[in-house]
Amino acid sequence: MTLYFDNAATSFPKAPGVAEAVYEYLKEVGASPGRGAYQSAHAAGRIISDARKLIAQLIGAQEPDQIVLTPNATVAINLALKGLLKAGDHVITSSMEHNSVIRPLRRLETEGVELTIIPCDGQGMLDPDEVVKAIKKNTALVAITHVSNVTGTIMPVPEVASRCAAEGVRLFVDAAQSAGILPVHVADWKVSMLAASGHKGLLGPQGTGFLYVDHGIKIRPLVEGGTGTFSELEIQPGELPQGLESGTPNMPGVYGLKEGVSFVLDTGVEAIEHRERELGRLIRQGLVEMPGVSVYGPVNELHRTGVVPFNLKDVNPAEVGYVLDSVYGVAVRTGLQCAPLAHRTIGTFPAGTVRISPGWFHTQADVVVLLNAIGDIAALRSRI
Ligand SMILES: Cc1ncc(COP(=O)(O)O)c(C=O)c1O
């Protein structure tokens, strides 16, 4: 059995009941919501509305209708950025962003959107003052990650949000690495849009994610087509969330996601946060004590999640990942983790790092196995 330590890519195992829900949907429910007047279509409608309600509760949104369901965080991010920004607008982002934010912004730049990237420090931290200094007359959006997928750095989102609100600038947050792992309060923080995966901290299946859109924010759909509503119209309805959700939804995935979010709510985000941070702390402490190991990310444990990036001196991280997998049965992520700019920021470009990302279901015994395996590799390398 593989010891899986790549929860920042996608969580595994999923919450209890998620796999069963996906199977049950395909076996017992089957229908699509809004596409029929029969009972199973109504049941599908209830499932989707329950999923929205639970997500809204989890992130502190006022209404379930502010939750647009998407296939992953990437689609949600594209929807937010390309749906809001137009030529002549200015957008501010950070140097710790995932390519799911950077690539759409680089595309928009070729279409006349002005882009400012604020450099973060060597531990991946963003200074809210630098964000405010970069605001101009045409700044339409600040777009930042809540947690870096490379270092686990927790960005000062509440501070940036209040500064943006004071300046009258909208804030978009990429919560792919924080939803279900850290408290998120979109309404209290006055966040305009927030995207997340359903398959990471929400412990749901792949093929799920969402975008929160605050009231009054008008964004263009990425895709137009059947919404199951206003079928008499030949033009795309503007109403949220369906106006941004054209096409048959991933209902087995949404049913599984509903189970995942229920589990997170029942367990408590604070309990999950506490366990993952504690596991990360133990891993980090074990690595720091090994000769020839460099650990990256915030030194202050209040500024980081359980994600632990490291390198062995003079060893390519891909090699470490390969040996961990093939000899010890431990799965970790290596390389640039789709965030080259973040690696430039912390000085680990182009080889990247070995990234360990623990999850709710890990035990301290798993950490011991992981550290013993890395310790063996480090000792062996130091003798060569
Ligand atoms: C910070 C961050 N943003 C966006 C994404 C993209 O998420 P998804 O795979 O759900 O599209 C990831 C995935 O690793 C991520 O870590």
Task: Tell me: do 7 and 98 sit in the same domain.
Answer: no
Final residue in a domain of this structure, among 211, 233, 267: 267
CATH number of the domain at 360, please.
3.90.1150.10
For the chain, the domain total comes to 2
15 secondary structure, DSSP code: P
Task: Tell me: do 300 and 218 sit in the same domain.
Answer: no
Whole-number average pLDDT of the chain: 97
Work out the average pLDDT over 75-87: 98
Ligand 1, atom 14: closest residue by C-alpha? 9
Work out the average pLDDT over 99-122: 98
Q: Is 120 a known active-site residue?
A: no
Q: How far is it, in rounded angstroms, from Cα 177 to Cα 124? A: 14
Return the structure tokens found at 40.
């199973």
Q: How far is it, in rounded angstroms, from Cα 70 to Cα 219? A: 15
**Per-residue model confidence (pLDDT) at position 287:** 98
**Per-residue model confidence (pLDDT) at position 289:** 95
Final residue in a domain of this structure, among 250, 267, 284: 267
* Residue pLDDT, tens place only, 160-200: 999 999 999 999 999 999 999 999 999 999 999 999 999 99
Task: Tell me: do 323 and 247 sit in the same domain.
Answer: no
The whole domain housing 261 covers 18-267
Helices and strands, counts by H and E, the chain = 12, 13
Given ligand 1 and candidates 102, 173, 178, 197, which is best to mutate, with the most ligand atoms within 8 Å of its CB? 197
* Residue pLDDT, tens place only, 126-149: 999 999 999 999 999 999 999 999
The pLDDT confidence band at residue 302, using thresholds 50, 70 and 90, is very high
CATH number of the domain at 46, please.
3.40.640.10
Task: Tell me: do 213 and 136 sit in the same domain.
Answer: yes
Given ligand 1 and candidates 97, 145, 149, which is best to mutate, with the most ligand atoms within 8 Å of its CB? 149
The pLDDT confidence band at residue 381, using thresholds 50, 70 and 90, is confident
- CA 4 vs CA 127, 281, 356, 366: distances in Å: 34, 18, 9, 9
Given ligand 1 and candidates 177, 193, 202, 355, which is best to mutate, with the most ligand atoms within 8 Å of its CB? 177
Distance from residue 299's CA to the centre of ligand 1 (Å): 24
The pLDDT confidence band at residue 384, using thresholds 50, 70 and 90, is low
Give the CA-trace dihedral at 129, 134, 140, 145, to 10 degrees.
Answer: -50
Ligand 1, atom 15: closest residue by C-alpha? 176
Ligand 1, atom 7: closest residue by C-alpha? 73
174 lines ligand 1 (CB under 6 A): yes
Which of 31, 41, 222, 338 is flagged as catalytic?
338
For the cut 80, the answer to whether the pLDDT of residue 75 exceeds it is: yes
For the cut 70, the answer to whether the pLDDT of residue 344 exceeds it is: yes
Percentage of the chain lying above the pLDDT 70 cut: 100
Distance from residue 306's CA to the centre of ligand 1 (Å): 16
For the cut 90, the answer to whether the pLDDT of residue 271 exceeds it is: yes
* Residue pLDDT, tens place only, 217-268: 999 999 999 998 899 999 999 999 999 999 999 999 999 999 999 999 999 9
Percentage of the chain lying above the pLDDT 90 cut: 97
**Per-residue model confidence (pLDDT) at position 256:** 98
Q: How far is it, in rounded angstroms, from Cα 276 to Cα 270? A: 10
